[in-house]
A and B are shown apart, each in its own frame.
Chain A
């Protein structure tokens, strides 16, 4: 029977399995599966809510552009992942003709939605009549808001200091008050220190005070759990792209130090745009040298940079390093803004956020300091020009 050995060995060598069986949410491909599964949900009555790509009218499938959950009372809770417009489809199936949905993370300037009965902060409550088998919910920023200048904020790395992040949220209200509309904030990972649900829920509670929606991607501290896709279950997808006025924003989940292969296969599709500006955000900075920290597969980091450069990217945003850095000698200008509250081992930590102002064909970036209480360097926030790292002229000419 010795002749059987090679046959058995050959058979064993052919034992392949689907990705993520068994699940291990430390692996980025597993989180891709989770974020897509969590973008649709069917309740016990059979009614199904699906997030969709707002640039299409398809309803046959769904896209990971948000998170759908059920509240204790059985109503739907949907969190929009991106900034700007969004689209959901509600599939009646064999369910009742009425459904309650709360949609969170919606910009206040988006006009009332069909069936909207209440607005609380960034949450819209809808009592939707399912008059057809599929009913769409579409939210869009008014064209007037994009006609002039507008802003988007960005920051990363909260970790052990969510209260400081709370101060940044508070500062966003001042951004709102100075006349140029703020369309949202990008939070580029390391929301938590240990990656627990409790930590992330606390940050989600802080985010409820934000005047504008917040789009997130995961950092290495957010993906420690192998058993649960905690980040995706609390905030939704870490890989998503969205259009805000004339800017395309692509967020990719580098929490594990590398990208899911299916995301690498979609980089071109995610970044291809006819918008004026293309911004990419991720947790780990992909450029070599001092700032390539954390990437475990540098060929992937360089593929991402090449793809962004080939699609005429204007700016690459990252965190991970607990400081602000700019590097415009790179193929695409890079700004690191890991200043949301994580320890900087400094007496006078440099906390705050990046303000991106989009106007005509110009993108201006400034750092808005939000010092900790009693910080001796609190005066820095008034320095002005020093806090504006550089201005990026639109490179793509689209």
Chain B
């Protein structure tokens, strides 16, 4: 085991979290910076020593990403910390109903990239004060189609490919709050994501391809480094299923074991001391990484070892007159990486449940 790995593990074990006690935010962040930097260093070394192999490159990518998001998130967390890190009730958590519209457009003449549109439902149900069920689901579509041109110089620059995309995500989540004093939450989120890609080819042919990402045992841990800062990781094995249209109908293949799925994020709750547009306001910033390029976006690491998914930055602003009234939540999302883009969202927020 390499020295950075030993240091990273030692730092993590030495952190107050390992003892099950709430840690002062500064110490918790220092522990996360140390562990994260160690994970990033080991993951990076592993990544490049692994060579052209996803077998080794995939866990190395995961370690790099968790380390990078944790270390950078905690570092920024220390910078933006105002001293008062007490949590507050009406924070900008995920809205139960959200509609979002992404950016489209293309740099190339006669080509089109449509705007993605999503309807997300995240209704939450509490069972006592320690168990919460979220019935997460999302429907995706595109406003228009992807159009690509045949740039071969001896041809007439006709359309090479037209594609439209639809999608459905089923993401139920059970979250456990084991101890009021323990700064950890645990969650299980089995996920099934389906995409229907309809292609129209240059020769007049067409093909429907259905891709399914199945992550049945995704386990998550959320670490509350302070009342306003959290570090969360969801990880699980993934299977991929493929189906395609044929002349006589459709065919499908059995699911194949895929790469590791990971969603790692650092979250900042930002209280607003002054009303905004005459309404009470609070906001939230999520900075994270998803280890999956299921939707075709990700970081290009010169196509060598495994792959890197996209980094993302989400900002949400919650506005409402009073906690017992319905509110509205505006969001801006940036997916950073090849094939990424910007999106804006609006969601409805129900009255605040007392105690949460």
Is there an interface contact between A288 and B298, defined as CB atoms closer than 8 Å? Answer: no
Q: Is A265 an interface residue (CB 8 A)?
A: yes
Complex Cα distance, B59 from A293, in Å, reads 12
Name A262's contact: one of B107, B152, B211, B295 (CB within 8 Å): B152
Given contacts A220-B304, A302-B211, contact A264 B148 (CB under 8 A): yes
Is there an interface contact between B151 and A299, defined as CB atoms closer than 8 Å? Answer: no
Q: Smallest CB-CB separation from B237: which chain A residue?
A: A289
Given contacts A262-B151, A266-B201, A292-B259, contact A310 B52 (CB under 8 A): no
Complex Cα distance, B150 from A33, in Å, reads 9
Complex Cα distance, B244 from A299, in Å, reads 13
Q: Is A335 an interface residue (CB 8 A)?
A: no
Q: Which residues of A contact B169 (CB under 8 A)?
A: none
Q: Which residues of A contact B55 (CB under 8 A)?
A: 290
Closest Cβ–Cβ distance, residue B170 to chain A (whole Å): 19
How many chain A residues touch B (CB < 8 A): the figure is 64
Q: Which one of B173-181, B202-210, B223-231, B320-328 contacts A?
A: B202-210
Q: Which residues of A contact B251 (CB under 8 A)?
A: 309-310, 331
Closest Cβ–Cβ distance, residue B247 to chain A (whole Å): 8
Q: Which of B28-42 contact A (CB under 8 A)?
A: none
Given contacts A261-B161, A290-B55, contact A310 B203 (CB under 8 A): no
Is there an interface contact between A298 and B209, defined as CB atoms closer than 8 Å? Answer: no
Q: Which residues of B contact A342 (CB under 8 A)?
A: 52
Q: Which one of A15-23, A71-79, A110-118, A364-372 contacts B?
A: A15-23
Q: Smallest CB-CB separation from B306: which chain A residue?
A: A293
Complex Cα distance, B338 from A209, in Å, reads 42
Q: Which residues of A contact B338 (CB under 8 A)?
A: 296-297
Q: Is B293 an interface residue (CB 8 A)?
A: yes
Is there an interface contact between A297 and B298, defined as CB atoms closer than 8 Å? Answer: yes
Q: Digit string of B250-279 for contact with A (CB within 8 Å is 1, else 0)?
A: 010110111100000000000000000000
Complex Cα distance, B85 from A68, in Å, reads 69
Q: Which residues of B contact A293 (CB under 8 A)?
A: 52-54, 57, 305-307
Complex Cα distance, B163 from A297, in Å, reads 15
Given contacts A16-B108, A268-B205, A329-B256, contact A37 B153 (CB under 8 A): yes
Q: Which residues of B contact A19 (CB under 8 A)?
A: 108, 111, 149, 151
Q: Is A322 an interface residue (CB 8 A)?
A: yes
Q: Smallest CB-CB separation from A344: which chain B residue?
A: B51
Given contacts A62-B154, A302-B209, contact A329 B254 (CB under 8 A): yes
Q: Is B354 an interface residue (CB 8 A)?
A: no
Q: Pick the 8 closest A-B CB pairs, nearest first.
A: A257-B303, A265-B160, A265-B161, A261-B148, A288-B258, A293-B54, A306-B244, A331-B253
- Where the two chains meet, the residues of A that have a C-beta atom closer than 8 Å to any C-beta of B are 13, 16-20, 29, 32-33, 36-37, 40, 61-62, 64, 157, 220, 224, 254-258, 261-262, 264-269, 272, 284, 287-300, 302-303, 305-307, 309-310, 320-322, 329-331, 338, 342-343, 345
- Where the two chains meet, the residues of B that have a C-beta atom closer than 8 Å to any C-beta of A are 51-55, 57-58, 105-109, 111, 148-155, 159-161, 195, 197, 199, 201-203, 205, 207, 209, 211, 238, 240, 242-246, 251, 253-254, 256-259, 293-296, 298, 300-307, 338-339
Extra inter-chain contacts (8) besides given A220-B304, A261-B148, CB under 8 Å: A19-B111, A61-B155, A262-B152, A268-B207, A290-B58, A294-B306, A295-B307, A309-B242
